[in-house]
Amino acid sequence: MDYKTIIEPFRIHTVQAIDLPNLAAREAALERAGYNLFGLHADEVIIDLLTDSGTGAMSSEQWAGMMCGDETYAGSRSFFRFEETVKDITGFDHVIPTHQGRAAEKILFAVAVEDGDVVPNNTHFDTTRANVEYRGAEARDIVTPGGTDPATILPFKGNMDIDRLRSTIEEVGVDRVPLVMITVTNNSGGGQPVSMANIRAAREVCDEFGIPLYLDACRFAENAWFIKMREEGYEDKTPREIAREMFSYVDGATMSAKKDGLGNIGGFLALNDTEWAQTARNLLILTEGFPTYGGLAGYDLEALAIGFNEVLEEDYLRYRIRSTAYLAETVLAGGMPIVQPPGGHAVYLDAAALLPHIPSHEYPAQSLAIELYRAGGVRGIEIGTVMFGRRDPDGGPDEPAAMELVRLAIPRRTYTQSHIDYVAEVVIDVANRAEQLTGYRIVEQAAWLRHFTARLEAL
Ligand code: F0G
C-alpha cells in the first residue's frame, strides 16, 4: 500500500521553545514597532514566516560537519570541500564564497554593471534590484504574461518573457545590457518556477547578442523539483541532474546559501569568466575577506558543503514542496485568495483580492500582514507597495507595485504540520473578517529598501 500522507522525512533531534505572547502583548509590540513587522522581536512572534532565509534547521550531519570546520585563513580545507561541492552541482570554473546572496550580487554588479545600463530579470528580488540601481542602472522585470496575475495558473509562471527580452535588448542597445539574470524560483513573483525550456530560450537570445546570462540561484533545488514534476522529459531525471542542466546554460550564478544551501548564513558568486572572477576576488578582499573564506567561518563552509547535497535529496524536496502546497490548499479552501499555483518556499496571500476596499497607496498587503500578526502571532511579509511601490517626489500617492501580496515563507525543516494547521486557522479567521481591515500610511521612510525600517500608522 502506498500511503498518501507525505511525512517530514526527519525526526526532531533538538528543540527550541516558542514564546506565546497574548493579544495585548502583540498589540503593544505592533505599536512599538511602528506597524512594521521587521521591528518585532523573536519572542513576540509565535510562528515566524517572515522568511525562509537562514531560518531553517540544519541536520545532525551538518552540525557534525561544523566540528570539522577548518579555520585556516588562506587555503582552508573547508573551502575546498565547499568549492568542490558547488563545482560538482553547478559546473562553474570559479567559486567565490560570500557571507550571503546580496554580497555576491553587489560584487557581480560592481564588476559588470555601469551607470545607464539595463539589467533584465524575470523579477528582481528587492536586494538585487537595489544593487542594480545602486550602480545607476535600471533593473527591468520581464516576467512572462500572466506572471503578475495571482489567479492565472501556469506550470512555469516564473518564466522570463523571451519576446520582451529580445525587444528590451533591441530597444536599449546591446552595449547597455551587461548581463541578463533569471531568478529561480521567482521569489517576488510568487515563488514560481522557471522551466528548462525557458532558460534554454533565454540562452539562445543571449548568445545571439553576445550577452552573459546569470542565474539568481537561491532556490535552485526547489526549481529543479518543479521541473521534474511538471516538464516533459524530466520525470526520470534526478534533481541533481536537472540542477546541473540548469546551470549548464548560464555563465554564472549568485547564490544565497541561506535558502537552498540549508545553512543559516552564506552564499557564493560562481562563474566561468576568468577576468570577471579576478576582479570579483579583488573586490571580495575589500569587503568580504580572503577568497577562501569570503566572510564565512570554516565551519559555515563545511555545513554548506553538506547542505548543498542534502537539499537535492528527493525525499526532502517532495516533502518540502508538498508542505507548502498543503498550507496553500487549506487557506484557499477557507476563503483566502492566494497566488496560484502555490510556489515552492512560500504561500502568497492576495491582499488586493481580499481587500478591494483598501487602495494600493494605503498598503492593503501591509494591513493584512499586520492583522495576521495581531490575531495569531503569525509573522509574514508584505510584498506590495510598501516594498516595491515608488514614492511620488511631490508627496502624492505612491506608484503602486504590480501585486499586493503577503508572503508566508516556510523555513526549511523547522515547523511541523500542526504549526502549519495553526497558521491556516489564523489566516482563515482573518479572511472571514476582511472588511474590518483598514489602510495605513507611512510616517517615516528611508530612501532605499524602505520596507525594512519604515514606520506606519493606521488610517
Ligand atoms: N535573490 C533572491 C531571489 C532572494 O530571495 C534573496 C533573499 C536574495 C537574492 C538575497 O540573498 O538575503 O542572502 O542576501 N531573500 C530573502 C527572502 C531575504 O526573504 O526572500 P541574501
Which domains are delineated in the chain? 23-52+314-458 (3.90.1150.10), 60-310 (3.40.640.10)
Contact 334, 424 (CB under 8 A): yes
The identity of residue 174, as a single letter, is V
Q: Which atom of ligand 1 is nearest to the CA of 186?
A: 3
Q: Is the CB of 100 under 6 A from ligand 1?
A: yes
Sign of CA dihedral 255, 260, 261, 265: positive
Q: Is the CB of 218 under 6 A from ligand 1?
A: yes
List the residue whose alpha carbon is closest to atom 1 of ligand 1: 125
Q: Is the CB of 53 under 6 A from ligand 1?
A: yes
Residue 126: per-residue pLDDT? 87
Q: Is the CB of 51 under 6 A from ligand 1?
A: yes
Of 256, 265, 449, which is best to mutate to test ligand 1, by the most ligand atoms within 8 angstroms of its C-beta?
Answer: 256
CA of 2 to the centre of ligand 1 (A): 37
CA of 24 to the centre of ligand 1 (A): 32
Cα dist from 10 to 13, 261, 416, whole Å: 9, 17, 11
Quick one: three-class SS letters along the chain?
CCCCCCCCCCCCCCCCCCCCCCHHHHHHHHHHCCCCHHHCCHHHCCEECCCCCCCCCCCHHHHHHHCCCCCCCCCCHHHHHHHHHHHHHHCCCEEEEECCHHHHHHHHHHHHCCCCCEEEECCCCHHHHHHHHHCCCEEEECECCCCCCCCCCCCCCCCECHHHHHHHHHHHCHHHCCCEEEECCEHHHCCECCCHHHHHHHHHHHHHHCCCEEEECCCHHHHHHHHHHHCCCCCCCCHHHHHHHHHHCCCEEEEECCCCCCCCCCEEEEECCHHHHHHHHHHHHHHCCCCCCCCCCHHHHHHHHHHHHHCCCHHHHHHHHHHHHHHHHHHHHCCCCECCCCCCCEEEEEHHHHCCCCCHHHCHHHHHHHHHHHHHCEECEEECHHHHCECCCCCCCCECCCCCEEEEECCCCCCCHHHHHHHHHHHHHHHHCHHHCCCEEEEECCCCCHHHCCEEEEC
Residue 277: per-residue pLDDT? 98
Residue 388: per-residue pLDDT? 85
Q: How far apart are CA 92 and CA 287, in angstroms?
A: 23
Q: How far apart are CA 273 and CA 361, in angstroms?
A: 44
Cα dist from 224 to 241, 260, 314, 344, 422, whole Å: 9, 11, 10, 10, 30
Q: How far apart are CA 368 and CA 406, in angstroms?
A: 7
Q: Is the CB of 408 under 6 A from ligand 1?
A: no
Cα dist from 454 to 36, 393, 444, 445, 446, whole Å: 7, 17, 5, 4, 7
Q: How far apart are CA 407 and CA 346, in angstroms?
A: 6
Chunk the chain into consecutive blocks of 10 residues (it has 459) and report each block's average pLDDT, rounded to whole numbers: 89 95 98 97 97 98 97 97 98 98 98 98 94 97 93 96 98 98 93 97 98 98 98 98 98 98 98 98 96 97 98 98 97 97 96 97 98 98 92 87 94 96 98 98 89 95
Contact 382, 349 (CB under 8 A): no
Which of 101, 168, 107 lies closest to 139, judged by CA? Answer: 168
Q: Is the CB of 126 under 6 A from ligand 1?
A: no
CA of 451 to the centre of ligand 1 (A): 14
CA of 252 to the centre of ligand 1 (A): 17
Q: Is the CB of 216 under 6 A from ligand 1?
A: yes
CA of 394 to the centre of ligand 1 (A): 31
Q: How many CB atoms lie within 10 A of CB 452?
A: 13
CA of 267 to the centre of ligand 1 (A): 10
Q: What is the pTM of this model?
A: 0.95
Q: Is the CB of 128 under 6 A from ligand 1?
A: yes
Residue 402: per-residue pLDDT? 84
Q: Which atom of ligand 1 is nearest to the CA of 50?
A: 19
Q: Is the CB of 161 under 6 A from ligand 1?
A: no
Q: Is the CB of 127 under 6 A from ligand 1?
A: yes
Displacement of CA 181 from its chain's centroid (Å): 14
List the residue whose alpha carbon is closest to atom 16 of ligand 1: 53
Contact 185, 192 (CB under 8 A): yes
Residue 189: per-residue pLDDT? 84
Residue 392: per-residue pLDDT? 84
Contact 366, 384 (CB under 8 A): yes
CA of 130 to the centre of ligand 1 (A): 12
Residue 366: per-residue pLDDT? 98
